[in-house]
Amino acid sequence: MKKASLILDKDYAIGQIDPRMYGSFIEHLGRAVYGGIYEPDHPTADENGFREDVIAKVRELNIPIVRYPGGNFVSGFNWEDSIGPRAQRPRRLDLAWGTTETNEVGLHEFVDWARKANTDVMYAVNLGTRGPDAARNVVEYANHKSGSYWSDLRAKNGAKDPFGIKLWCLGNEMDGPWQMCHKTAYEYGRVANEAAKMMKWVDPSIQVVACGSAAHDMPTYGAWEYEMLMECYENVDYVSLHRYYGNPTGDTPGFLARSMDLDDFIREVVAICDAVGGRKHAKKKLNLSFDEWNVWYHSSQQDKEILKADKWGRALPLLEDIYNFEDALLAGAILITFLKNADRVKVACLAQLVNVIAPIMTRNGGGVWAQTIFYPMMHASRYGRGTALRPIVTSPVYDCKDYERVPLVDAAATLGDDGSLTVFAINRSMDEDIELDFDLRAFGDLKAQEHIVLHHDDVKAVNTEANPDNVVPAPGTPVKIDGGKASVVLPALSWNVMKFKK
Ligand code: AHR
């Protein structure tokens, strides 16, 4: 059997894991809101129309923060449309997705939903068709105690206490020509700077995220980050990164290597942030908010047909990717990559959460089920807390179309505040189990607690409402441990979680 090894030491820390690394995203898009989290006629709907069965699934993921309300949608959104009596809220054309937004669910409703789902809101302001004035007003509405026009209106609309939203996105993907009121890096940097300044004057306790590139392969990538940060570095806290991967040609080894691209992307954006910081002689360091990541390609053709048939429809089933087993493996590899960069990646959002390129699916009037990608996210979010440790991995490698020397085994490790150790590992080999040997001598007397495996013989296997347990985690072979040395078998093509405790 092929072998790989992993050396860990509790003193070799990458950094404290920010819980917001396990965030997600709900956009007013498709059936994410209407038919996803909100369906007043559904048998499980609560008094506000939110599906309790969906909330229960969201809670299983243990998500600390949810980005809202977009996405591309936000660049044409008037936040004022989403407050006040529902009957008076306008129906608007959403130019981002070619649909109609009814504003039945708005700011108050989403904050209520988030509380019930045990999560916080990360709110995006519109820096496309709107600007700094609308941005500072929504901060005042959401976070100012009372005694001003917007805060008193919030109270009049039913929320006496401020919402206390702490993390704000300064627009969305403003480098993308598809964005409403797309900007150059300089234009965006200036607007982001003024918006951030005014939003923080209203509430100095907030943090703000500047838009980095919409993808690693954008033509303006790199220059965009540098130029816009030259305009706003002092007033922002994070730079965003977005990245989606696909496997339209069925090249599984190449697809599973895409986390190498993600790692390059992260390291390059960190370097650019630090270059601007250096250029400005700044003491402050910017961190990263990887606020959109996932696999996205399965639904592309279907979406064209849906929109052809029903342009300007409401809650159309858009971006409903059905995820297979290999997608879950890549999601696991991405989470491992975030953990290995935990010193700078402080926020990350699996895009999205329900129905729209999502780990959770629903049927209108019907059930809720977990897609394959649900499981690595759930494991990382539940067990990957505390300190990220620097893993020294030695693994056999392979070459694929875009990368050479891709390790068959990739791993990350976290040390919990209670001294428990968790190792996450993938085996990218298409056909060979690999024995992973651990050197854990620095941890003293550890006991192997659990080995969880996600594996399916068919990389294209999916979960459906009728067959929701087709791709689900199962116990793996026991971890052998003896005096600080341990070993475990990682099945070919598998996501693994190994838990150790004192
Ligand atoms: O998540 C789907 C879309 O992907 C978002 O609206 C946009 O920000 C990105 O291009």
Distance between CA atoms of residues 238 and 205, nearest Å: 15
pLDDT for 347: 98
pLDDT for 483: 83
Distance 499 CA to ligand 1 centre (A): 35
**Contact, 4 vs 392, CB < 8 A?**
no
Distance 95 CA to ligand 1 centre (A): 13
The sign one gets for the Cα dihedral 183, 184, 190, 196 is positive
Ligand 1 atom nearest to 351, measured from its CA: 1
Ligand 1 atom nearest to 27, measured from its CA: 6
Residue nearest to atom 9 of ligand 1 (CA): 71
Q: In this structure, what is the dihedral angle of CA atoms 424, 427, 433, 439, given to the nearest 10 degrees?
A: -40
Number of other CB atoms surrounding residue 128 within 10 Å = 25
Ligand 1 atom nearest to 176, measured from its CA: 10
Distance between CA atoms of residues 431 and 426, nearest Å: 13
Residue nearest to atom 3 of ligand 1 (CA): 71
**Contact, 352 vs 401, CB < 8 A?**
no
Q: Tell which of 383, 408, 424 closes a domain.
A: 383
Residue nearest to atom 4 of ligand 1 (CA): 71
Distance between CA atoms of residues 10 and 400, nearest Å: 34
Number of folded domains that form the chain: 2
The sign one gets for the Cα dihedral 124, 128, 130, 133 is positive
- Active site positions, annotated: 173, 292
Instruction: Specify whether 305 is located in the same domain as 170.
Output: yes
Q: Is the pLDDT of residue 489 over 90?
A: yes
pLDDT for 268: 98
Three-class SS state of 341: coil
Three-class SS state of 230: helix
pLDDT, tens digit, 9 for 90 and up, residues 447-458: 999 999 999 999
Distance 174 CA to ligand 1 centre (A): 11
Distance 71 CA to ligand 1 centre (A): 5
Residue nearest to atom 7 of ligand 1 (CA): 71
Q: Phi first, then psi: what are they for 75, rounded to 5°? A: -75, -5
Which of 48, 63, 179 has its CA nearest to residue 106? 48
Mutate to test the pocket of ligand 1, among 73, 169, 173 (most ligand atoms within 8 A of CB): 173
Mutate to test the pocket of ligand 1, among 99, 292, 373 (most ligand atoms within 8 A of CB): 292
H helix intervals, 83-161: 107-116, 132-143, 149-156
Which of 339, 295, 292 has its CA nearest to residue 321? 295
Three-class SS state of 15: strand
pLDDT for 339: 98
Ligand 1 atom nearest to 319, measured from its CA: 2
Instruction: Specify whether 393 is located in the same domain as 379.
Output: no
Q: Tell which of 333, 360, 383 closes a domain.
A: 383
The boundaries of the domain holding residue 496 are 2-9+389-501
Q: Phi first, then psi: what are they for 24, rounded to 5°? A: -145, -160
pLDDT, tens digit, 9 for 90 and up, residues 196-254: 999 999 999 999 999 999 999 999 999 999 999 999 999 999 999 999 999 999 999 99
pLDDT, tens digit, 9 for 90 and up, residues 36-86: 999 999 999 999 999 999 999 999 999 999 999 999 999 999 999 999 999
End-to-end CA distance of the chain: 30
**Contact, 246 vs 294, CB < 8 A?**
no
Distance 418 CA to ligand 1 centre (A): 38
Instruction: Specify whether 366 is located in the same domain as 493.
Output: no
What would the DSSP string read from start to end of 182-230?
---HHHHHHHHHHHHHHHHHH-TT-EEEE---SSTT-TTTTHHHHHHHH
Three-class SS state of 314: coil
The H or E element spanning position 291 is strand 287-295
Q: Is the pLDDT of residue 99 over 90?
A: yes
Instruction: Specify whether 368 is located in the same domain as 443.
Output: no
CATH number for the domain harbouring residue 144:
3.20.20.80
CATH number for the domain harbouring residue 474:
2.60.40.1180
Instruction: Specify whether 66 is located in the same domain as 174.
Output: yes
Which of 45, 49, 72, 7 has its CA nearest to residue 352? 72
Residue 445 pLDDT grade (very low, low, confident, very high; cuts 50, 70, 90): confident
Instruction: Specify whether 352 is located in the same domain as 397.
Output: no
Ligand 1 atom nearest to 97, measured from its CA: 6
Which of 66, 160, 159, 168 has its CA nearest to residue 120? 66
Average pLDDT over residues 3-28: 97
Q: Is the pLDDT of residue 93 over 90?
A: yes
Residue nearest to atom 8 of ligand 1 (CA): 71
pLDDT, tens digit, 9 for 90 and up, residues 361-394: 999 999 999 999 999 999 999 999 999 999 999 9
Instruction: Specify whether 374 is located in the same domain as 405.
Output: no
Residue nearest to atom 6 of ligand 1 (CA): 71
**Contact, 187 vs 194, CB < 8 A?**
no
Distance 117 CA to ligand 1 centre (A): 23
Instruction: Specify whether 356 is located in the same domain as 408.
Output: no
Instruction: Specify whether 79 is located in the same domain as 35.
Output: yes
Q: What does DSSP say about strands 397-398 and 2-7: parallel, antiparallel, or unpaired? A: unpaired
Pocket lined around ligand 1, Cβ cut-off 6 Å: 27, 70-72, 172-173, 214, 242, 292, 351-352
Ligand 1 atom nearest to 294, measured from its CA: 1
**Contact, 231 vs 160, CB < 8 A?**
no
Ligand 1 atom nearest to 73, measured from its CA: 6
Q: Tell which of 383, 398, 417 closes a domain.
A: 383
Instruction: Specify whether 324 is located in the same domain as 468.
Output: no
Distance between CA atoms of residues 420 and 88, nearest Å: 53
Distance 4 CA to ligand 1 centre (A): 37
Instruction: Specify whether 328 is located in the same domain as 398.
Output: no
Residue nearest to atom 5 of ligand 1 (CA): 71
Distance 354 CA to ligand 1 centre (A): 14
Instruction: Specify whether 370 is located in the same domain as 394.
Output: no
Q: Phi first, then psi: what are they for 358, rounded to 5°? A: -130, 150
Mutate to test the pocket of ligand 1, among 72, 217, 356 (most ligand atoms within 8 A of CB): 72
* pTM recorded for the entire structure: 0.97
> Above pLDDT 70, what percent of the chain?
100
pLDDT, tens digit, 9 for 90 and up, residues 146-197: 999 999 999 999 999 999 999 999 999 999 999 999 999 999 999 999 999 9
pLDDT for 502: 86
Mutate to test the pocket of ligand 1, among 172, 180, 298, 355 (most ligand atoms within 8 A of CB): 172
